Structure 1
């Protein structure tokens, strides 16, 4: 039963990022590290390591809850609608409010990585693309 739940969770998580697969160049790798129910009904916490190849960028998107991004290596630029870009280096973090439309881009000479922690509503896609 537990392995079935893990397979279902992995498929749903992968599908939530499927819209990015065709629009990304170069590659962005994602590794889900943890997914747990919270005491608050209908909410869960998800941690994901995101590896950006040189020049890789996530297009504009939002999440059905908050995200805390912690840069593990390199430098990442985050762009929020109507605001100047914010560049973070390894060891720096950023709070992204629920529903905030943003993008992320590797602005380092090499690979950059972040640890993304989401506190989101269950049963909703983790990523919603923005026009």
Structure 2
């Protein structure tokens, strides 16, 4: 199934999971999220609410079956992208803000304005805004064009 990435990228949080046909695990919905600095998200409020992904460009890759997609991701204070993975690599740059990049398989990585980052193919991660301003990340993906850009967990 081909996914209209423009629809996904204009959608955020749980709504994006619906576009992808994915569901959040019931344990994730029941847990009360808390954030770095001890600032909890109020009960019943989506920790990914307000996160936006704007498609900047999308082009075929020189490798058949792959494409390059570039987005601007904005994460408000005390919010997060949500646990997810991509069917290819993500090469990124923190344009503004402070992020704690959390991984399922390695220690978290603290990123600040001006820091580059790399997420390997299929690695589950979550970008948590731990700063005082809306975080802006430029993310470029080289992904399998037959798979959804984002799989949520």
Work out whether the TM-score is over 0.5.
yes
Count of residues in correspondence between the two structures: 123
Q: 1:4: which partner in 2?
A: none
- Which has a greater percent of strand? 1
CA RMSD in angstroms, aligned pairs only: 2.4
1:114-129 to structure 2, matched below 5 A, reads 114-129=137-152
Residues in 1 aligned to 2:83 and 2:89: alpha-carbon distance in whole angstroms: 16
Cα deviation 1:11-59 (Å, max 9, x = unaligned): 3655797118994444111110000001111000000000111111012
- Where does structure 2 lack aligned partners over 5 or more consecutive residues? 20-44
Is residue 87 of structure 1 aligned with residue 110 of structure 2?
Answer: yes
Distance, in Å, in 2 between the alignment partners of 1:12 and 1:109 is: 27
Q: Does structure 1 residue 28 correspond to structure 2 residue 51? A: yes
Could you tell me which residue of structure 1 aligns to residue 38 of structure 2?
none
Confirm whether residue 111 of structure 1 aligns to residue 110 of structure 2. Answer: no
Partner secondary structure for residue 7 of structure 2: helix
**Aligned residue number for residue 100 of structure 2:** 77
Listed as ranges, the gaps of 5+ residues in structure 1 are: 1-7
Greater mean alpha carbon deviation, residues 12-21 or residues 63-72: 12-21
1:18 counterpart residue number? 16
The whole-number CA distance in structure 2 between the counterparts of 1:74 and 1:20 is 28
Q: TM-score, normalised by structure 2?
A: 0.72
TM-score calculated relative to the size of structure 1: 0.83
Structure 1 residue 82 displacement after superposition: 3.4
